[in-house]
Amino acid sequence: MIATDAEIAACIFVCEAKASARMQLFEALEPAHFAQGPCADFWREAKRLESEGEGPSGWNVIERAIAAKASAPNSPDGWRGWYLAARDRSAEYLARGRLDNDERADELAREIGNAHELREIRRVCAEIAGRAEIATENGASLRAELIDRATVRATEGATGLVSTRDAAIELVERLTARTLTATPSPWPELDACVQLSPGSLTVLAAATGVGKTVLGLQYARACAAAGSWCMFVGLEMPASANLARVARQTYGCEHRPETLPAHLQAGAYSQLVTAIGALVSAGLKIEWSCDPSQSTDHVAMRAKAFKARLDERGERLGLVVVDYLGLLDATSDDARRRLEKHEALGEYARRLKGLARTVNAPVLALAQLNREAEKAGAKATRGMIGDSYAILRHADTVLLFSRPLPGADVGGTPALSIQKAREGRTQFFDMAWDSTRENYQMGKK
pLDDT, tens digit, 9 for 90 and up, residues 241-272: 999 999 999 998 988 888 888 888 899 899 99
| Domain assignment of residue 183, yes or no | no
| Domain assignment of residue 252, yes or no | yes
* pLDDT higher than threshold 70 for residue 148: no
- For helices 37-51 and 58-67, angle between their N-to-C axes, nearest 10 degrees: 110
pLDDT, tens digit, 9 for 90 and up, residues 370-379: 665 555 544 5
Intra-chain end-to-end CA distance of the chain, in Å: 44
* pLDDT higher than threshold 80 for residue 83: yes
89-99 average pLDDT score: 81
| Domain assignment of residue 234, yes or no | yes
Task: Please check whether residues 215 and 253 belong to one and the same domain.
Answer: yes
Q: Against a cut of 0.85, is the pTM above it? A: no
Task: Please check whether residues 53 and 199 belong to one and the same domain.
Answer: no
300-320 average pLDDT score: 92
| Domain assignment of residue 59, yes or no | yes
Torsion sign, CA atoms 224, 226, 230, 236: negative
Task: Please check whether residues 201 and 268 belong to one and the same domain.
Answer: yes
CA atoms within 13 A on the CB side of 44: 14
Mean pLDDT of the chain, nearest integer: 80
| Domain assignment of residue 312, yes or no | yes
Task: Please check whether residues 121 and 210 belong to one and the same domain.
Answer: no
| Domain assignment of residue 419, yes or no | yes
Please work out, in degrees rounded to the nearest 5, the angle formed at the alpha carbon of residue 20 by the alpha carbons of 16 and 22: 45
pLDDT, tens digit, 9 for 90 and up, residues 208-245: 777 889 999 999 999 999 999 999 999 888 999 999 99
Closest residue by Cα to residue 10 from 38, 72, 68: 38
The amino acid at 187: W
Instruction: Give the bridge partners for 203, in sequence order.
Output: 365, 398
Domain boundary residue, one of 147, 177, 207: 177
Model pLDDT, residue 337: 67
426-442 average pLDDT score: 87
CATH of the domain at 55: 1.10.860.10
| Lowest-pLDDT range of 2-6, 34-38, 214-218 | 2-6
CB 201 within 8 A of CB 396: yes
* pLDDT higher than threshold 60 for residue 203: yes
CA atoms within 13 A on the CB side of 177: 13
CB 6 within 8 A of CB 18: no
- For helices 296-313 and 341-359, angle between their N-to-C axes, nearest 10 degrees: 10
More confident residue, 444 or 178: 178
Domain boundary residue, one of 177, 203, 237: 177
Model pLDDT, residue 222: 94
Counting residues of the chain whose pLDDT is more than 70, the rounded percentage is 79
Report residue 1's pLDDT band, with 50, 70 and 90 as the boundaries: very low
Task: Please check whether residues 151 and 215 belong to one and the same domain.
Answer: no
Report residue 113's pLDDT band, with 50, 70 and 90 as the boundaries: confident
- Report CA 225 to chain centroid distance, whole Å: 23
**Phi, psi (rounded to 5 degrees) for 102:** -65, -45
Q: C-alpha dihedral over 124, 125, 127, 130, to 10 degrees?
A: 170
Q: Report the relative pairing of strands 397-402 and 363-368 from DSSP bridges.
A: unpaired
Model pLDDT, residue 209: 76
Task: Please check whether residues 249 and 393 belong to one and the same domain.
Answer: yes
| Domain assignment of residue 157, yes or no | yes
| Domain assignment of residue 182, yes or no | no
Task: Please check whether residues 397 and 345 belong to one and the same domain.
Answer: yes
pLDDT, tens digit, 9 for 90 and up, residues 117-145: 777 777 766 666 555 544 444 555 555 55
Task: Please check whether residues 250 and 126 belong to one and the same domain.
Answer: no
CATH of the domain at 282: 3.40.50.300
- Domain of residue 156 covers 4-177
Task: Please check whether residues 234 and 91 belong to one and the same domain.
Answer: no
pLDDT, tens digit, 9 for 90 and up, residues 389-423: 667 778 889 898 887 765 555 556 788 888 888 87
Check residue 314 and give left, alpha or beta (phi > 0: left; psi -120 to 50: alpha): left
Model pLDDT, residue 410: 53
Report the largest interatomic distance among the alpha carbons of the chain, rounded to a whole angstrom: 104
- CA 15 to CA 110: how far, in whole Å? 19
Task: Please check whether residues 235 and 103 belong to one and the same domain.
Answer: no
Please work out, in degrees rounded to the nearest 5, the angle formed at the alpha carbon of residue 305 by the alpha carbons of 246 and 229: 30
Closest residue by Cα to residue 347 from 363, 375, 325, 364: 325
Task: Please check whether residues 278 and 334 belong to one and the same domain.
Answer: yes
pLDDT, tens digit, 9 for 90 and up, residues 339-354: 666 677 888 888 999 9
Task: Please check whether residues 22 and 144 belong to one and the same domain.
Answer: yes
State how many domains the chain has: 2
Domain boundary residue, one of 114, 143, 177: 177
pLDDT, tens digit, 9 for 90 and up, residues 47-72: 888 777 776 777 788 888 888 777 77
Model pLDDT, residue 158: 42
The amino acid at 79: W
Model pLDDT, residue 12: 85
